[in-house]
Amino acid sequence: MEILSDEQLMDIYEMALQAKVSPDFIALVELELTQRQFGELSESC
């Protein structure tokens, strides 16, 4: 997931929600998105 752009990861997340895939997979994508947001916030401080 690290090689995906933020936009690609969001697209995968939205498709996963629509397809009602495994909650574990959705949780992994959410975790990656959260970590990216947190990383951006800490870099801007």
2-44 pLDDT per residue, tens: 899 999 999 999 999 999 999 999 999 999 999 988 877 677 7
pLDDT at position 45 over 70: no
Predicted TM-score (pTM) of this structure: 0.79
Identify whether 1 is part of a domain. no
In a domain, 13, yes or no: yes
* Number of structural domains in the chain: 1
Inside any domain, residue 17: yes
Q: How far apart are CA 14 and CA 29, in angstroms?
A: 10
Find the CATH number of the domain harbouring 27. Answer: 1.10.287
pLDDT at 37: 87
Rounded Cα distance, 10 and 41, in Å: 18
Give the range of the structural domain holding residue 16, as residue numbers without chain letter.
6-44
Residue 27 belongs to a domain:
yes
